[in-house]
Structure 1
Amino acid sequence: MENNNLKRGIGMTAALSTVMGTVIGAGVFFKTASVVNSTHSFALTILAWIVGGLLTICAGLTVSELAAAIPKTGGAIKYLDYTYGPTTGFAMGWAQILVYYPANIAAESIIFATQLINLFHLNASLNIPIAIISAFSILFVNLLGAKVTGYFQTTTLILKLVPIALISIVGLIIPGNVNISLFPATPTNGANPFFAFSAGLLATMFAYDGWIGICDVAGEIKNPKKNLPRAIILGLSFITIIYTLINFVFLKTLPLDQIAGNQNAAAEAAMKIFGELGGKLVTIGILVSVYGSINGYTLSGMRIPYAMGVSDTLPFSKYFTKLTKKTAVPYVAGLFQVAIAVIMIFLGTFDLLTDMLVFVMWIFNCLLFIAVFKLRIKHPEMIRPYKVPWYPIIPAIALVGGGFILVETLLTQFNLALIGMLLTLLSYPIYYFHKHQINKQ
């Protein structure tokens, strides 16, 4: 398949920025609590972050072959549509509308509220109201138009790197408060090391989420055969190093028991490193980072039901295509997305919501990995501006890793996985019902 209509104007630097900008978010600050709660081990925690990064690199390198060969607007949905048929593509779009984006907005809003309450010592009962207000305030920012939203996203992207850099650099330089050792690697709570590591690895996946965003611009990257794998390997390698370093700092600053399950661990570590005032300033930087992440998911998320509405693949499609008069923003799609997020805010916690969205999206990630094998066999003549290196080893690692994530979730959080699967499977009757209604007209 030849790319005849997309201009290849994205260079190496822009591609690298896209990879890093879409992945780095709130997970680096707040998933540490979940990882340590699973591993109860310095060595296993660091290993989980490293392995999570390597798995993500393999996944990015694999799916990018599809992105370069099928450079269509819609990204992964179109790759599934092309490989498996429209029902599978619709199922992913449906999962993004009903689970992925609303769960991200809800989870980030909850963590924003938690940190705000912790910073200013507010009443804990304000958690849900603050989370809801933060979600709707970001929707309001988006309704002001793409230009305002773009400036806001760029500003928060720059600002969110500040607390990461400060904690990593200063935290590495100053003496630690905790004696750390790679050995023995066994969990301090006596848990089985393999199962502890497995649960810790699963917890890192939310922090590495967003890597598939590079696929949306793969068809516009200059010299994709050279620049695409470079951007993915360098970008995700840098992120893996950053995540590993900042978690090393957390572990040398606070005892394991103080980090495990503690969503305020990043703020407490900042207080230890920079003192009361400096710690609060860094915590404000973390809050800005989280707020920017909510904006990113809101901005991207509302475009999915809008795009599916334009192609008339959703029930009530005409409503999802409605735009604001002055700024041309899909406001109905935005309100629908935030409404689902608000329901999730009432029903879930940060870890519950992030684990569910990771599980649902890795179902489709695995289908994408399989698609690379399937299209290599079925369509060897397809023009591939970029091919995954070391085929079939890299795609096999990605698929085995993805399968591991799904099995681990099913074994340890069956009810959560079941809810995610049922919400996704609901897409099939919706698809055929809507198709039947269209055929009747």
Structure 2
Amino acid sequence: MAESNMKKSLGFGAALSTVAGTIIGTGVFFKASAVTTATMSISLALFAWLLGGIINLCAGLTAAEVAAIFPETGGIVRYIEEPFGKFWGFISGWAYGIVYMPANVAAFAIAFGTQFTGLFHLTDSWIVPVGMITSLSVALLNFISAKCGGVVSSITLIIKLAALGVIVIFGFLQPGNVDFRLFPIQAGAHREFWGALGTALLATMFAYDGWIHVGTLAGEMKNPQRDLPRAIAVGLTIVIIAYLLVNAVFYFVVPLHQIAGNLNVSMEAADKIFGGIGGKIVTAGILVSVYGGMNGYTMTGMRVPYAMGKKGSLPFSRFFAQLNRAGVPWASGIVQYVIACLMMLSGQFDAITNMLIFVIWFFYCMVFVGVMKMRKTRPDLHRPYKVPLYPIIPLIALVGGTFILISTLIQQFVTTAIGIVITLIGVPIYYYMQKKKGIN
């Protein structure tokens, strides 16, 4: 008989590794190309990585306030439902749990399959099968227990940080024969400063995404009020430092024009640092990094449909609300795995991720506004953690998020429109369930 409640087995270490481990996945390796193409300037590229990190840090610190108030499984659904009502809570949960999280698992699986087939010289026809098998192994590990998923996050985080650390340390010991300058911060030739910065900043968003997902584990944390804000703040700080150092090494050892448009810049940098075996070492490191990121999205993602099912918000809610003996929402996990496999069949990494940037940041901005709204409408709430420097940090997060929404809509209109349409499918489902509850 499955347990009716989830076990509180996760501490600060598991939460921290989930934050950093989910964020550090594929972006640090694959987005340097896009950022460099947009800026054609080392100084502006690194500034874009720093600014993107600051925006996400402010976003994380803001969301942590509402996460500490409502330390329950489900995360963003509760953060939006409380200030804006059940409709917006449902739509955010639909987009987040049924579309966004499986899409990220699919994107990570495709990235894993691509690197795996390249390492072992397999044909491209193996990419999707390898991705499906890998994501299934991640799901099965998480079905064992939440603690097991946390251990996987911790181990893969240690390995990927160690690999990145080796690249950084030995990278800066190289002669550095390229023109490496951090100042003045300016765009490269034939680039307009603000346009280049905007495009580059947008490219960093996927690389930094993932900080909010730890909130879905709050109901299984031993001390969420204390550990959740700390995990978000410390985890994001680690990621920002890691991203700046790794990208600085890329620019230190590889000429700028060889990074622009080059998705294999990490391998090229490793070849220069370690010699011929460097590419294989980095590929192995990328595989560990991607596996850890996939684990983070799998571990946190299955908790959202579970929380919605427990409230009776979804069709077949009883199925989604099932737990196994270890207190893990296996049914939600299976549904998300099937959805992810269907998305994998497209084989398109960028198309899958770009489609959802607008959608998820729309709901992030709702969270920021909700925090400020509840400061006025619910001053009586017990707040174990408050956003520092209020309202400056929430406003930075909101302004940055608004910029991301506008830029994404302009630059990626078609893929953004697809993401919006898929999200809007949740509207009739919401009203159907409301009507069903009224009848019952």
CA distance in 2, matches of 1:383, 1:330: 29
Secondary structure, in 3 states, of the residue corresponding to 1:173?
A: coil
Deviation at 1:314, TM superposition (A): 0.5
Structure-2 residue corresponding to 1:350: 349
- Does the CA-based 8 Å contact 2:71-2:225 persist in structure 1? no
Deviation at 1:18, TM superposition (A): 5.4
Aligned-partner residue type, residue 124 of structure 1: D
What does the per-residue CA deviation read over 1:2-57, in whole Å, with 9 as the maximum and x for residues that have no partner?
Answer: xxxx999966x776555434433332222222222332321221011000111111
CA distance in 2, matches of 1:85, 1:169: 50
Root-mean-square deviation over aligned CA pairs: 2.9
For the pair 1:191 / 2:196, whether they are aligned, the reply is no
CA distance in 2, matches of 1:207, 1:37: 16
CA distance in 2, matches of 1:168, 1:271: 14
Matches within 5 A, 1:356-375: 356-375=355-374
Matches within 5 A, 1:50-89: 50-89=50-89
299 and 388 in structure 1: CA distance in 2 versus 1, 3 angstrom threshold: closer
CA distance in 2, matches of 1:345, 1:307: 25
What does the per-residue CA deviation read over 1:350-405, in whole Å, with 9 as the maximum and x for residues that have no partner?
Answer: 22322333321111110011112211221223322222122221111111000000
Structure-1 residue corresponding to 2:262: 262
CA distance in 1, matches of 2:263, 2:257: 12
- Does the CA-based 8 Å contact 1:270-1:283 persist in structure 2? no
- Does the CA-based 8 Å contact 2:116-2:287 persist in structure 1? yes
Deviation at 1:254, TM superposition (A): 2.2
Deviation at 1:99, TM superposition (A): 2.3
Structure-2 residue corresponding to 1:3: none
Matches within 5 A, 1:271-420: 271-322=271-322, 329-347=328-346, 349-420=348-419
101 and 141 in structure 1: CA distance in 2 versus 1, 3 angstrom threshold: same
Structure-2 residue corresponding to 1:113: 113
Structure-2 residue corresponding to 1:98: 98
Aligned-partner residue type, residue 357 of structure 2: V
Secondary structure, in 3 states, of the residue corresponding to 1:347?
A: coil
> Unpaired runs of 5+ in structure 1?
1-5
- Does the CA-based 8 Å contact 1:115-1:264 persist in structure 2? no
Structure-2 residue corresponding to 1:137: 137
> Unpaired runs of 5+ in structure 2?
1-6
- Does the CA-based 8 Å contact 2:69-2:225 persist in structure 1? no
- Does the CA-based 8 Å contact 1:138-1:294 persist in structure 2? yes
Secondary structure, in 3 states, of the residue corresponding to 1:190?
A: coil
CA distance in 2, matches of 1:220, 1:308: 22
What does the per-residue CA deviation read over 1:199-237, in whole Å, with 9 as the maximum and x for residues that have no partner?
Answer: 11111112211222454549965885xx87665544423
Structure-2 residue corresponding to 1:425: 424
- Does the CA-based 8 Å contact 1:23-1:209 persist in structure 2? yes
155 and 194 in structure 1: CA distance in 2 versus 1, 3 angstrom threshold: same
Structure-2 residue corresponding to 1:438: 437
Secondary structure, in 3 states, of the residue corresponding to 2:276?
A: helix
288 and 20 in structure 1: CA distance in 2 versus 1, 3 angstrom threshold: closer
Deviation at 1:197, TM superposition (A): 1.3
Secondary structure, in 3 states, of the residue corresponding to 1:72?
A: coil
* Identity, % of aligned positions: 48
CA distance in 1, matches of 2:431, 2:370: 23
148 and 368 in structure 1: CA distance in 2 versus 1, 3 angstrom threshold: closer
